[in-house]
Chain A
Amino acid sequence: MTQLIDLRRRGLLRGSGITVLSASAVALLAGCEKMASAQASNGASAANDVGILNTALALENEAISAYQLGAQSGLLQKPVLEVAVLFQTHHKEHRDALIATIRKLGGTPVPAKSDAEVAQALNAASLKTQTDVLRLAQRLEKGAANAYIGVIPSFGDRNLAQVSARLAADEAMHWTVLTQALKDPLPAKALSFGA
């Protein structure tokens, strides 16, 4: 829960421009030093890759806010709340990794929208039950997984395409857990993501 109610701290870090890299963010970026220098030699491709990463960052920021809204709604009971906190932590690690990569490529990370803006865009006022919150999270996680899959062909750098696939795998894992929590059937057919 601590992670979900650190709004002031999050705002402070955001405002100061400091990015504290988590262990997984460091791992995600391991070996990307070569990538950064190679990208610098291909300006158009690097700029496009930065654009993709910034769109991904906006998506992660929205997910962090969505889980924040869900946790603060008072609708989530244990153990669902703990799982939501964990998933929010994953999204924060994704955010940190993306910010670090964007900076490494010479780009400027997009700022996050406020939780209030996200609440309005996602119609959070309509959430009345735990199931409502889980359905929203399930929908956003599937969309996020598919977004990461759908941008893979657009990356100029294959290392970044691989990073996108790893992020998609995390989102797919979240979707699976949420689907089980909702007692929804699992997909009857293979290759259900990206389709």
Chain B
Amino acid sequence: MRLPARPRVLALAVFALAAAAPAAAADATHGQELYESRCGGCHSLDANRVGPAHRGVYGRKAGSAPNFNYSTAVKSSTVVWEEKTLDAWLTNPQALIPGQRMNFRVALPADRADIIAYLRQQSGK
């Protein structure tokens, strides 16, 4: 179906506005809630548990938290943890670093963004 000229312009304008609108800002406060409920089974900010301590993780090379026994895959990885790599990691860890041991996935992009915002905040970045 072909739209008349004016509605077509309106539809294009709405589409352009939607495309130009920035994604909702990541919410570190919500990220903390998510971190505690979703990541807290294995991780703490300041102690190595099932997984490594997370304070300072943002900007850190993968496999470099002191005194944590990493998989060979993570230890030998060249990944540095920042927005893009953390998002890929939380989406599918095995796809980013085959042979890793976490395997925990966060399905929703907004949740991943909020968790990353919290980790960044706790890393002082």
Interface residues of chain A, those whose CB is within 8 Å of chain B, are 47-48, 51-52, 54-55, 58-59, 62, 120-123, 139-140, 142-147, 150-151, 153-154, 194
- Would A51 and B101 count as touching, CB distance under 8 A? yes
CA distance A53 to B94 in the complex (A): 14
Residues of B2-61 whose CB lies within 8 A of A: 36-42, 44, 47-50
- Would B71 and A51 count as touching, CB distance under 8 A? yes
Distance of B42 from chain A, by nearest CB (Å): 6
Distance of A134 from chain B, by nearest CB (Å): 16
22 A-B contact pairs sorted by A residue (CB < 8 Å): A51-B99, A51-B100, A51-B103, A55-B101, A55-B103, A62-B50, A121-B44, A121-B47, A122-B49, A123-B47, A142-B37, A143-B38, A146-B37, A146-B38, A147-B38, A147-B42, A150-B38, A150-B105, A151-B105, A153-B105, A154-B94, A154-B104
CA distance A55 to B74 in the complex (A): 14
When A143-B41, A147-B42, A154-B94 are in contact, do A58 and B36 touch as well, CB less than 8 Å?
no
* B99 partner residues in chain A, CB cutoff 8 A: 47, 51
Pick the contact of A150: B36, B47, B48, B104 (CB < 8 A).
B104
Q: Chain A at the B interface: mostly helix, strand, loop or mixed? A: helix
Q: Chain B at the A interface: mostly helix, strand, loop or mixed? A: loop
* A153 partner residues in chain B, CB cutoff 8 A: 105, 107
* B104 partner residues in chain A, CB cutoff 8 A: 147, 150-151, 154
Number of A-B contacts (CB under 8 A): 71
Pick the contact of B103: A59, A120, A122, A154 (CB < 8 A).
A154
Distance of B63 from chain A, by nearest CB (Å): 15
CA distance A52 to B106 in the complex (A): 15
Pick the contact of A55: B38, B44, B50, B94 (CB < 8 A).
B50
Pick the contact of B42: A47, A120, A143, A145 (CB < 8 A).
A143
Distance of B59 from chain A, by nearest CB (Å): 24
Pick the contact of A58: B38, B44, B50, B103 (CB < 8 A).
B50
* A151 partner residues in chain B, CB cutoff 8 A: 103-105
Distance of B31 from chain A, by nearest CB (Å): 13
When A140-B41, A143-B39 are in contact, do A150 and B106 touch as well, CB less than 8 Å?
yes
CA distance A28 to B100 in the complex (A): 26
Select from chain A the residue with minimum beta-carbon distance to B47.
Answer: A121
